[in-house]
């Protein structure tokens, strides 16, 4: 049973994500479910934001580098009233929501991310700018673990560590699966914690589905350099049918599968 307000919100938003993807006929359901609690920890206490002023200059910023998980971000932005909830299920011309986040169209989206491997470098640019402007902003970048196989990510990790960017926090959705199978079978990342540490990052390993622990960790980082939270998650978390099966990286549930998922979520 949910043990907090945000755990209950996660349950409800999983239903909204399911409705989004079935309404649009496409999406990355398992990836969105995997990172939902991470995003909730950020948007409901972990970041300094003001939904009534989406362009507030001193806001903290999130780069959703794993842009294919955007259905989770859309559900949260809608819940915070960045845009009307009708957009979540209205698949029609003129809808601002797409298969990847678009900062030109969607209030609350900080950067358009689709191709993997670029979000951390973008976040570094924002972190550097905040330093030069003597701003108290923090920049957060949510990465997929499969994305860490990109060489551009490791160049960015090296750069951030060298410049001791203590206003930069990376969060890795560490579900150990990518689109076509297990990370360890395609290009193993272990030992990921030691690799980040050797690049002068502060490393924390947490459950990516424990919102309270994630928020406590975000509030208690040492602040001596860039930090990374390796968030242990399960792809498709919350519904047994969707969990840790590569087919759900892109597959849209049938009407019967949607019914069973909502039944398990207690939404029927």
The domains of the chain are located at: 5-264
Beta carbons within 10 angstroms of residue 254's beta carbon: 10
Provide the pLDDT for residue 1: 36
Provide the pLDDT for residue 89: 85
Strand 227-232, strand 181-182: pairing: unpaired
The beta-strand segments (E) located in 181-246 are: 181-182, 202-207, 227-232
Provide the pLDDT for residue 80: 97
Provide the pLDDT for residue 233: 98
Cα(130)–Cα(152) distance, integer angstroms:
22
Tens digit of pLDDT at every position of the chain (268 positions):
345 899 999 999 999 999 999 999 999 999 999 999 999 999 999 999 999 999 999 999 999 999 999 999 999 999 999 999 989 987 666 688 988 999 999 999 999 998 899 999 999 999 999 999 999 999 999 999 999 999 999 999 999 999 999 999 999 999 999 998 999 999 999 999 999 999 999 999 999 999 999 999 999 999 999 999 999 999 999 999 999 888 999 999 999 999 999 999 999 9
Provide the pLDDT for residue 180: 87
User: Is the sign of the CA dihedral 35, 123, 212, 15 positive or negative?
Assistant: negative
The structure tokens 């030069």 sit at 132
Question: What global pTM score does this model have?
Answer: 0.96
User: Which superfamily does 5-264 belong to?
Assistant: Thiamin diphosphate (ThDP)-binding fold, Pyr/PP domains (3.40.50.970)
């Amino acid at each position: 049973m949910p043990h907090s307000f945000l755990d209950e919100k996660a349950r409800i938003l999983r239903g909204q994500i399911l409705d989004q993807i079935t309404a649009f006929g496409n999406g990355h359901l398992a990836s969105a479910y995997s990172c939902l609690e991470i995003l909730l920890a950020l948007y409901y206490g972990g970041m300094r934001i003001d939904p009534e002023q989406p362009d507030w200059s001193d806001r903290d910023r999130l780069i959703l580098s794993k842009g294919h998980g955007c259905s989770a971000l859309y559900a949260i932005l809608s819940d915070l009233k960045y845009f009307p909830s009708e957009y979540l299920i209205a698949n029609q011309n003129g809808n601002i929501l797409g298969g990847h986040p678009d900062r030109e169209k969607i209030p609350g989206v900080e950067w358009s991310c689709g191709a993997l491997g670029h979000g951390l470098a973008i976040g570094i640019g924002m972190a550097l700018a905040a330093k030069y402007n003597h701003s108290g902003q923090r920049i957060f970048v949510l990465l997929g673990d499969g994305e860490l196989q990109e060489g551009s990510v490791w160049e960015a990790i090296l750069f951030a560590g060298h410049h001791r960017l203590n206003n930069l926090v990376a969060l890795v959705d560490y579900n150990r699966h990518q689109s076509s199978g297990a990370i360890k079978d395609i290009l193993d990342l272990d030992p990921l914690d030691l690799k980040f540490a050797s690049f002068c990052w502060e490393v924390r390993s947490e459950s990516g589905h424990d919102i309270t622990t994630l928020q406590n960790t975000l509030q208690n980082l040492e602040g001596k350099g860039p930090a990374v939270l390796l968030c242990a998650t399960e792809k498709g978390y919350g519904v047994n049918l969707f969990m840790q099966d590569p087919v759900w990286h892109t597959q849209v549930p049938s009407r019967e599968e949607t019914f069973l998922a909502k039944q398990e979520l207690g939404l029927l």
